[in-house]
Structure 1
Amino acid sequence: MDNSFASLPPAFYTRLMPTPLPAPYLVAVSAPAAELVGLTPAQLADSLDVLIGNAAPERALPLAAVYSGHQFGVWAGQLGDGRAMLFGDVATAEGPMELQWKGAGLTPYSRMGDGRAVLRSSIREFLCSEAMHGLGIPTSRALSVAGSDQGVMRETVETSAVVVRMAPTFVRFGSFEHWFYRNKNDELKILADYVIDRFYPALREEDNPYQALLAEVTRRTAQMIAHWQAVGFMHGVMNTDNMSILGLTLDYGPFGFMEAFDSDHICNHTDQQGRYSYANQPQVGHWNCYALGQALLPLIGEVEATQAALDVYQPAFAAKMDELLRAKLGLSQLEQHADADRALFDAMFALMDANHVDFTLFFRRLSGLKAADTSGDEPLRDLFIDRPAFDAWAAQYRARLQAEASDDSARQLAMNKVNPKYVLRNYLAQIAIEKAQNKDFTEVERLLSVLQRPYDEQPEHDQYAALPPDWASHLEVSCSS
């Protein structure tokens, strides 16, 4: 174990140890995440005190990092790791991977918080981190979740838990904003050089490495959010302190996967103004890149060069979104159909919106539609209230398929590789959480196994792909989630 972040000057963090929790118990381990860092689930089970932060691994240098950020569009000032502690990084086949406790106790950056995470939110983060990886979306990972019966107060008293999460780095947009708004250009440069040298070394060859850094982060952010939109994922709290400098999905709180399609859906009950609605995510991502660009301006040196880097966002998002939607609809990349395809996509989303069609089921069942006849339409058609409107759109789609002589069997196979059958619906997480609160972790394990293979049919788990029950519509998640 190493800790490269600890090699930065002391102003970037506070060294400290986590606060122990009594009588810990293991909730779940992700075997693929463990394999990535060269461990087995059995080894992790034997290291429970480390997983919950009651002990540190040999050579660990636990620390809490300082950063700042914009929260709901308002400058919030200093924030930092209020309940997270980085304890080191390890070499993997995919490069260095940092390990971090989340929920390990008070830090100097906890503000009015208690430094703890609850079992409910920890299970949600654990499951969604691994579910997003299964979907092929850039994300931090989750190694394990462990619990303790020590109570913490949220809306009610809940029990504590700690997630060990992993990412190449947890540096975020707000890490740069912290130094910019304090007029600390030396520290700003140290951080930028650290990120470039460790994660973007090729950018050193550019005429202006800091402009190139902004352009690359902007491109990655745009592409990540296109992935979110294409799978119906809503982050819920796209503050600049929750935006990864590597373009990873980071900090899972009040997230949600779209069910009955509503482009203006707000998954975070705390977000009364709808700033982070599904429809707003692309433009908020762009806004956040502007905040990062502002922070990097002293290093880039020119407003025009900074703007040029930010101009990468819109074309990168549009190109990735077009690519993903064509794949989801089983269409080839034919330039002569580009404008017609966008019109087809727009009509599709308008139809889904008007009928509040289940997002995941729509795209999964779409693969059963045949190019030359309507014999396979019923499972998909049954999702719509306005079936004549569906029929009209399906006729346009068929005409597009016939224009490229699409083969039904090959297209269905290809579409099912990009349209998941299984996503982490809130009600599925809630069922697993309620069982776990009674010390039954079997549903967490079963759900994790299903979500790690979201594109496979897994007929023995069909119930996880069904329409949500009526009671699920009353579930609410907020920033405390």
Structure 2
Amino acid sequence: MTLLDGLTWTNRFADLGPDFFTELPAQGLPDPHWVARSPGCAALLGWPADWAEHAEALAAFSGNATWPGMRPLASVYSGHQFGVWAGQLGDGRALWLGEVSTPGGLQELQLKGGGLTPYSRRGDGRAVLRSSIREFLCSEAMAALGVPTTRALCITGSQLPVRRETVETAAIVTRVAPSFVRFGHFEHFAHHQQHGALRCLFDWFVAHHAPECADADEPPVALLQRVSLQTADLLAHWQAIGFCHGVMNTDNMSMLGLTLDYGPFGFMDAFDPGHICNHSDDRGRYAYARQPAVAFWNLHALAQALMPLMPIATDQEAEASGERLIAAVESFRERFASQMLGHMRAKLGLAGEAPGDQALADDLLKMMAASGADYTITFRRLSRALSEPQALRDQFIDRAALDAWLPRWRERTAPDAEARMLAANPAVVLRNHLAEGAIRAASQGDFSEIERLLKVLSRPFDEPENPADAALPPDWAQSLEVSCSS
């Protein structure tokens, strides 16, 4: 019996028809090899630990073959990029393989870097080893942190040259999610006034991914509120762990509230609300502190795309329909605020809820920003500050201000504060320099650092065996830059 004998594939997205995608094979990698595999993602799929040892596995995930039941296709979508309508986009280097049955339900598998599609525009349809390693590691790291995210099953590589800023080598990362449908899928058909196709996509998505919305008085409003709440939860997770996405275009926003499309992302080192992780973002649209507002803006774009599905026979009906959609988006604000405060209470180890908790958290963040305190290390040291206060004080320039804040904090801490905080404040996140170390080794053919880092990142709340994984970044890390090509 082989791995293939136990797999059942379905292709529900393909049921939508050719207006929604182009069916085509991948352009496989020549002479492929394994770069990395995720045991955690394989377990999610219900696959055996030795799944990659099957001969057909490398061929499938390097784009050189398909398994029975797979149906490769690239979907079309549009979107706003950096706040500007970008027109038709689509899966320019991604191929949907199909949905596989798993213990937790259907999961879509997608190759990123599988070659040219009709939506590649001026691109080459390829992904490079560098960016594939970053996406693979961060996808699995975010899952371990409890952040909603797409997953990454594996990376395959090749010596095929690919030109970015320099000549690099090609790779394919296999991504996994219940759905890769984005805000931009709905924007595409609304913008082109293909209202029949828009209705078809809406009905399909609700039936398969949000069935509770089907029986609502107004299903588009119900779906928009659902997405708004899920997006608020996601953004609260991001802000709480100091994560910057880097390119929050509407075509990179998941209809399921998942972290989608890892490109120029970054976890903050020194805390700076204005931190910009994307070197291409010269105006700072996607700076850390602006992420919630950008998500809110993107939800308004989705509301506009859903407007044709509302009753708009008269001007009055159109106005009322628009108001109900906007009200659904407004649910983001309260949800984000409450979820963010909940995360901060957990990070501070507070007992219950009190009116001054927001100010307590804000005052700490202001001191951290003034001192350039490392975000992850400060909260980790705060977790032990009841018994080891000096280590925390070393992060701050204005120690008198910290000393004035600490009694306010101690007064609010729960009896088991330290245990709670150690479970809420990770010791290790995927800092850029950690990823860069794995990338540099991999470029020399050594993939062991990817495997080692994956193991460390899969247990982010445990102290790592190598203290350097949880230490301040080295000086050379300051020169690292990530951009939209990363």
State the TM bucket, normalised to the shorter chain.
Answer: over 0.9
Q: 2:485 & 2:244 partners in 1: Cα distance?
A: 16
Q: 2:61 & 2:27 partners in 1: Cα distance?
A: 13
Out of 48, 59, 68, the position equivalent to 1:40 is 48
CA deviation vs aligned residue, 1:10-39 (integer Å, no higher than 9, x gap): 100000000121110101100110122122
Matched letter for residue 409 of structure 2: Y
CA deviation vs aligned residue, 1:422-454 (integer Å, no higher than 9, x gap): 100000000000000111010000000000110
Q: 2:49 & 2:30 partners in 1: Cα distance?
A: 22
CA deviation vs aligned residue, 1:30-78 (integer Å, no higher than 9, x gap): 0110122122342224311111111111111100000000000000000
Q: Which residue of 2 aligns with 1:456?
A: 462
Q: Which residue of 2 aligns with 1:71?
A: 81
Out of 266, 271, 295, the position equivalent to 1:256 is 266
> Structure 1 residue 93 and structure 2 residue 103: aligned?
yes
Q: Indicate if the aligned counterparts of 1:30 and 1:41 stay in contact, CA closer than 8 A.
A: no
Q: Which residue of 2 aligns with 1:387?
A: 399
> Structure 1 residue 175 and structure 2 residue 185: aligned?
yes
CA deviation vs aligned residue, 1:310-339 (integer Å, no higher than 9, x gap): 1111001001001110011011332xx22x
Q: 1:101 & 1:20 partners in 2: Cα distance?
A: 10
Q: 1:40 & 1:120 partners in 2: Cα distance?
A: 28
Q: 1:362 & 1:300 partners in 2: Cα distance?
A: 48
CA deviation vs aligned residue, 1:69-91 (integer Å, no higher than 9, x gap): 00000000000000000011112
Q: 1:45 & 1:303 partners in 2: Cα distance?
A: 54
SS in structure 1 at match of 2:421:
helix
The 5 Å alignment of 1:14-29 reads: 14-29=22-37
Out of 305, 311, 316, the position equivalent to 2:324 is 305
> Structure 1 residue 431 and structure 2 residue 437: aligned?
yes
CA deviation vs aligned residue, 1:92-116 (integer Å, no higher than 9, x gap): 2222100000000000000000000
Shifted more, 227-236 versus 343-352: the winner is 343-352
CA RMSD of aligned residues (A): 1.0
Q: 2:162 & 2:48 partners in 1: Cα distance?
A: 31
Deviation (angstroms), 1:344: 0.9
TM-score of the superposition, structure 1-length normalised? 0.96
CA deviation vs aligned residue, 1:249-276 (integer Å, no higher than 9, x gap): 0000000001101100000000000000
Q: Indicate if the aligned counterparts of 2:233 and 2:335 stay in contact, CA closer than 8 A.
A: yes
Q: Which residue of 2 aligns with 1:396?
A: 408
Q: 2:99 & 2:49 partners in 1: Cα distance?
A: 19
Out of 414, 417, 421, the position equivalent to 2:420 is 414
SS in structure 2 at match of 1:312:
helix
> Structure 1 residue 332 and structure 2 residue 332: aligned?
no
SS in structure 2 at match of 1:10:
coil
Shifted more, 265-274 versus 414-423: the winner is 414-423
Q: 2:166 & 2:388 partners in 1: Cα distance?
A: 49
- Report runs of 4+ in structure 1 exceeding 6 Å deviation: none
Q: Which residue of 1 aligns with 2:279?
A: 269
Q: Which residue of 2 aligns with 1:317?
A: 336
CA deviation vs aligned residue, 1:161-206 (integer Å, no higher than 9, x gap): 0000001011000000000000011111111111111011111221
Q: 1:228 & 1:300 partners in 2: Cα distance?
A: 32
Q: Which residue of 2 aligns with 1:278?
A: 288
The 5 Å alignment of 1:144-159 reads: 144-159=154-169
Q: Indicate if the aligned counterparts of 2:235 and 2:291 stay in contact, CA closer than 8 A.
A: yes
1:167/1:353 CA distance change after superposition, 3 Å: same
Deviation (angstroms), 1:400: 2.8
Q: Which residue of 1 aligns with 2:478?
A: 473
Deviation (angstroms), 1:309: 0.8
Structure 2: runs of 5 or more not aligned: 1-8, 312-320
Q: Which residue of 1 aligns with 2:6?
A: none
SS in structure 1 at match of 2:19:
helix
Out of 123, 129, 133, the position equivalent to 1:113 is 123
> Structure 1 residue 357 and structure 2 residue 373: aligned?
yes
SS in structure 2 at match of 1:222:
helix
Deviation (angstroms), 1:2: 1.3
CA deviation vs aligned residue, 1:438-477 (integer Å, no higher than 9, x gap): 110100000000001101224x232200110000011000
The 5 Å alignment of 1:132-211 reads: 132-211=142-221
Matched letter for residue 330 of structure 1: G
Q: 2:53 & 2:400 partners in 1: Cα distance?
A: 56
Q: 1:203 & 1:258 partners in 2: Cα distance?
A: 37
Q: Indicate if the aligned counterparts of 2:385 and 2:391 stay in contact, CA closer than 8 A.
A: no
Shifted more, 267-276 versus 345-354: the winner is 345-354
Matched letter for residue 329 of structure 1: L
Q: Which residue of 2 aligns with 1:7?
A: 15
Q: 1:141 & 1:222 partners in 2: Cα distance?
A: 20
> Structure 1 residue 345 and structure 2 residue 361: aligned?
yes
Deviation (angstroms), 1:399: 3.0
Structure 1: runs of 5 or more not aligned: none
Q: 1:80 & 1:230 partners in 2: Cα distance?
A: 31
Matched letter for residue 461 of structure 1: N
Matched letter for residue 345 of structure 1: A
Q: 2:53 & 2:266 partners in 1: Cα distance?
A: 30
Q: 1:64 & 1:322 partners in 2: Cα distance?
A: 40
Shifted more, 295-304 versus 245-254: the winner is 295-304
Percentage identity across paired residues of the two chains: 55
Aligned residues: 467
Q: Indicate if the aligned counterparts of 1:68 and 1:178 stay in contact, CA closer than 8 A.
A: yes
SS in structure 1 at match of 2:478:
helix
